[in-house]
Structure 1
Amino acid sequence: MKKTINMKKSLNITIALVAAFSLVSCFNDNKPNYQFMPNMYEPVGYETYGEYDIFENEQEAKLPAEGSIPRGWTPYEYDNTTEGLNLAKAELKNPLDITEDNISEGEALYTIYCAVCHGDKGDGQGILAEREKFLGIPSYADPGRTITMGGTYHVQMYGLNAMGSYASQTNEKERWQIAMHVMDLKAALNGEASLLETAGAKAADSTNMESSTEEGDKMNTEDAANTSENETN
């Protein structure tokens, strides 16, 4: 009896497999398959600036929803004015860490977007200046120029004078990396320490200060313990 049941199961499985292979082998790639809910397969294509009565005002092209921003975009709160530039110079701070990777990436981006005018050294002697396509490009070390990290970022966002905006070519992180390299070029032209050297010195000072504070706290604790012991005696 048990053997008969097993044979029936095997037969049923075999029949099911044969049926499945038969259906697959008979499928014709040259003809469309059966469609259920064909609207899911055959959407209506609307022209970008076409007029269609299913849309408000029969206008297909719509402005983004109020308050929405593009993916990956960070709102920038400084205006494209002289006042906005001055505020950015004074207030805007670099959110990235001063690392070799960020500075190296900033140098590569600077070479792509900036060196053609400002020169590899930031002295205003880029290829376009050498070929006299643009004249009077200032050096980052020119007296009277107040160049800060925030101001450099702001100028990349909006452009300044003959320089156009680079907001569409670079993202937020890349603009800050470029700003780091600009500050390094300025420091090199003025014979000053680089960002990495300055950051390293600050880290060393902070470590020494923490060590001194810990040592002082330890001594104060020992003095307090000795004073308490003497009073007890």
Structure 2
Amino acid sequence: MRYFIAILIFVIVATVSILGFRQDKFTQTPIWVFPDMDIQARYEPQGKNEFYANQMDDRPIVPGTVQRGYGWEKKQVFSGDYQWDVIDNPSMYSGKKENGDWYEGFPVEVTPALLQSGKEKYDIFCLVCHGDTGDGNGITKKYGMAATPSYHTDVLRSMPEGEIFNTITNGKNLMGAYGMKLNPEERWAVIAYVRALQLAGNATVEDVPQQNRRDLGL
């Protein structure tokens, strides 16, 4: 028992000697036993840096840097005739109507060029999970990934385009967000291509224009 008391006293004295009493002010830099993420070798915003001539951490943008955000320019923003697309066409960037409901339809003109762009982006970002026809039988399914829903269901066929836009932008369940990889117009292009896949997967002969039926052997 006496050894235990001696060891306990020693531990207490050692702890107080190293860490000090509670609420005491350190006159020297305290000892960081587990610094973890408290001390990081990084540059702070608007911090001082003796290495550079202007002694600032903030550096000019490297030429060729990929733009983030909406690309505001002061000369444009503070000019009298400045127009902001986000205000002029809010559904284009939010997928919602002014009353907050999901936008139905497309806030951009659906053209063959837009569909082609949608196919290209779909093949890059979506096909691996959703499959080339949108049936959910993508490459990832072969490797044991959870089943990807098919686009050819009544739920997804009737889903407003704005809600699909929101899913692409922010992700849902196991699907990650693609808002940082696809700009708004590209997201709408993908949605237009998805609608084309849905139409093709549930179409009948009557949906094919008369002048194109001969090309399909109909």
* Structure 1 or 2: more helix by fraction: 1
The structure whose Rg is larger is 1
| TM-score of the superposed pair, with normalisation by structure 2 | 0.50
